[in-house]
Amino acid sequence: MAKFPGIKGIFFDEDPLIEQSSKGVNGIGIPDCGLKKSDLRKDESAYIDSKYIRKNPPGLPEVSEPTVVRHFTRLSGWNMCVDTVFYPLGSCTMKYNPKINEKIASLENIKNLHPLTPANLIQPVLKIVYDFNNILCGLTGLAEFSFAPQAGAAGEFAGLKVIKKYFELKGENRKTILVPDSSHGTNPASSVLAGFTPVEIKTGKAGTLNAEELKKFISKDVAGIMITNPNTFGVFEKDIKKIAEIMHKNGSFVYMDGANFNAFLGNVKVSDMGIDLIQLNLHKTFSTPHGGGGPGSGALGIVESLREFLPIPYVKKTAADKNNGKNTSNYDKDFNAENQVYELSEDRKNSIGKMTPFLCNFAVLIRAYAYLLSLGRDNVGSVSEIAVLNANYVKKKLDEILSGSDPFEEGLCMHECVFSDKAIEEGGISTIELAKLLIDYGFHPPTVYFPKNIHGAIMIEPTETESIRTLDNFIKAVKEIKLKTKKSRAAKSPQKTKVGRVNEVLANKRPVFKS
């Protein structure tokens, strides 16, 4: 049996950079620009309008390059990340991101591309966006994707705006979006932001939405349903086709929150389930580093009838396409100014409008594209197969340790499994204590206290990139914690981290950035 990774690293004491500052120290050398301060302030011939000129220096730390590098390199080791530990944070799909994606997104002519470069000079780049869209359409069975939304929740918002605009044009004023209680928290929030009223539907004991229950909520005021599938219990909505039929009969739409697409990738076309709109979180399923508020992409896919409403601009194939859509390998010949095949178009008269300053978070799209191409059509399905297998392995093994805590003991889960705190509570340990103790064992905690309708929820998403050795090790740690941990130690955990247990409420409300 493998050893727990544990935490025994070297921790240095670390002052904030601002306290390491010495006047005049500089990390970079910039050649003199030949301008004097007084030139800037000259009123009529000013290079910069005087109202924009600072009165005082910005108060940045004045430090050398090695000071900066050491500071951030050391700090990075105080935290957990997918490159160092197992990271089973439910609903977040913290899979390992292959480094090849990063390498391709960092190629000079991709990384340094100016977003205002004219379309005729970036034909290969526009081809990537166009082709990537086609791949996603192939994987989902939908008609087109927009890459304008820069996060999953932004994709939901855009999708709901599309629905709103559709009904406005029809002259119907439908105000309700149905949201089962098994949906992600962003779903009702996005509904409100888009100008709808979310109406909650309770799910049954099986953790899924019952089609008969849904019928009670149907009226001509219902614009659509937002359904997270697999839902936040990690369970497949098995009535989904019936649900879609009921909605369509009422002239309403089915929006699927597809952030959990890792459970389906390469094996399920959502069009077969009757889905009209979906957002795919490229930063989750399609292997882009995320968390910490970095750039994301909530690519919004729609059925043919909603195409005209998608955000602008978008990549369009022009009439000048002399290859008749055939792929060709001769980039130099095919991509020249005379033979412009792709353009950035704003030609969509019923578009919901612009959502981003330019086209999309391009580097996220490149990573996702590289990820899919490196897997290939034949292997892409193994992602979801192994993700589901791994989650069921963890569910089965933890069922034995946390007996009575599995709300859905019957049946299989999809990409993640959820437990209540019933079994650990009996041993005097709370969910938050289990989470903190796992850090000392060298594992990132699972998602905790979500979904809200499961008492003290512990939500585990192992993803497909983990080996059975890692999973066994994690299961063993949970077992040890449950059997051997005393309440007094649990309350003080984590103990091996640089910063121990913090008062979470105070840390949020009154953060202290200076030591």
* Helix-, strand-, coil-residue percentages of the chain, each rounded to 5: 40, 10, 50
Query: In this structure, what DSSP letter does residue 2 have?
Result: P
Nearer to ligand PLP among residue 7 and residue 388 (C-beta)? 388
Binding footprint of ligand PLP, residue count (CB under 6 A): 13
Residues of this chain, 74-103, that bind ligand PLP according to CB under 6 A: 91
Nearer to ligand PLP among residue 94 and residue 359 (C-beta)? 94
Residues of this chain, 353-392, that bind ligand PLP according to CB under 6 A: none
Nearer to ligand PLP among residue 224 and residue 442 (C-beta)? 224
466 closest CA partner among 14, 82, 41, 57? 82
d(CA 246, CA 213): 11
**Minimum gap (Å) between residue 365 Cβ and ligand PLP:** 14
d(CA 27, CA 22): 12
**Minimum gap (Å) between residue 510 Cβ and ligand PLP:** 26
Label residues 370-397 b or e (16+ Cβ within 10 Å = b).
bbbbebeeeebbebbeebbbbbbbbbeb
> Could you give the angle at the alpha carbon of 84 between the alpha carbons of 231 and 490, nearest 5°?
70
**Minimum gap (Å) between residue 26 Cβ and ligand PLP:** 38
Nearer to ligand PLP among residue 94 and residue 310 (C-beta)? 94
d(CA 158, CA 391): 31
**Minimum gap (Å) between residue 196 Cβ and ligand PLP:** 17
What residues are paired with 177 via a beta bridge? Answer: 198, 224
Using CB under 6 A as the binding rule, whether residue 151 contacts ligand PLP is answered as yes
Using CB under 6 A as the binding rule, whether residue 184 contacts ligand PLP is answered as yes
**Minimum gap (Å) between residue 381 Cβ and ligand PLP:** 21
**Minimum gap (Å) between residue 233 Cβ and ligand PLP:** 11
Of 180, 296, 407, 451, which one interacts with ligand PLP (CB under 6 A)?
Answer: 296
**Span interacting with ligand PLP, options 69-77, 151-159, 425-433, 454-462, rule CB under 6 A:** 151-159
Assigned token pair, 414: 């999809």
359 closest CA partner among 369, 371, 348, 345? 345
Using CB under 6 A as the binding rule, whether residue 63 contacts ligand PLP is answered as no
Using CB under 6 A as the binding rule, whether residue 153 contacts ligand PLP is answered as yes
| Closest residue to bound ligand PLP by CB | 152
Where would I find the beta strands (DSSP E) of 346-446?
Answer: 417-419
Of 259, 282, 306, 429, which one interacts with ligand PLP (CB under 6 A)?
Answer: 259
Using CB under 6 A as the binding rule, whether residue 152 contacts ligand PLP is answered as yes
C-beta of residue 146 within 8 angstroms of C-beta of residue 299 = yes
Which residues, at least 6 apart from 317, have a Cβ–Cβ distance to it below 8 Å?
130, 325, 341, 342
Using CB under 6 A as the binding rule, whether residue 260 contacts ligand PLP is answered as yes
Does residue 405 sit in helix, strand or coil? coil
How would you classify the pairing of strands 253-257 and 222-228?
A: parallel
Using CB under 6 A as the binding rule, whether residue 133 contacts ligand PLP is answered as no
Using CB under 6 A as the binding rule, whether residue 281 contacts ligand PLP is answered as yes
**Minimum gap (Å) between residue 256 Cβ and ligand PLP:** 10
At 156, phi and psi to the nearest 5? -60, -45
**Minimum gap (Å) between residue 234 Cβ and ligand PLP:** 11
**Span interacting with ligand PLP, options 173-181, 191-199, 255-263, 400-408, rule CB under 6 A:** 255-263
Residues of this chain, 454-473, that bind ligand PLP according to CB under 6 A: none
Distances (CA, A) of 178 to 116, 120, 159, 209, 216: 41, 45, 14, 11, 11
Binding string, residues 210-229; x marks residues near ligand PLP by CB under 6 A: ------------------x-
Using CB under 6 A as the binding rule, whether residue 300 contacts ligand PLP is answered as no
Using CB under 6 A as the binding rule, whether residue 186 contacts ligand PLP is answered as yes
**Minimum gap (Å) between residue 138 Cβ and ligand PLP:** 23
**Span interacting with ligand PLP, options 55-63, 145-153, 158-166, 431-439, rule CB under 6 A:** 145-153
**Cα 32–chain centre separation:** 43
**Span interacting with ligand PLP, options 19-27, 58-66, 148-156, 474-482, rule CB under 6 A:** 148-156
Does residue 263 sit in helix, strand or coil? helix
**Minimum gap (Å) between residue 264 Cβ and ligand PLP:** 13
**Minimum gap (Å) between residue 190 Cβ and ligand PLP:** 9
282 closest CA partner among 269, 264, 302, 299? 299
Taken in order 107, 112, 113, 115, the sign of the CA dihedral is: positive
List of residues contacting ligand PLP (CB under 6 A): 91, 151-153, 184, 186, 228, 257, 259-260, 281, 296, 298
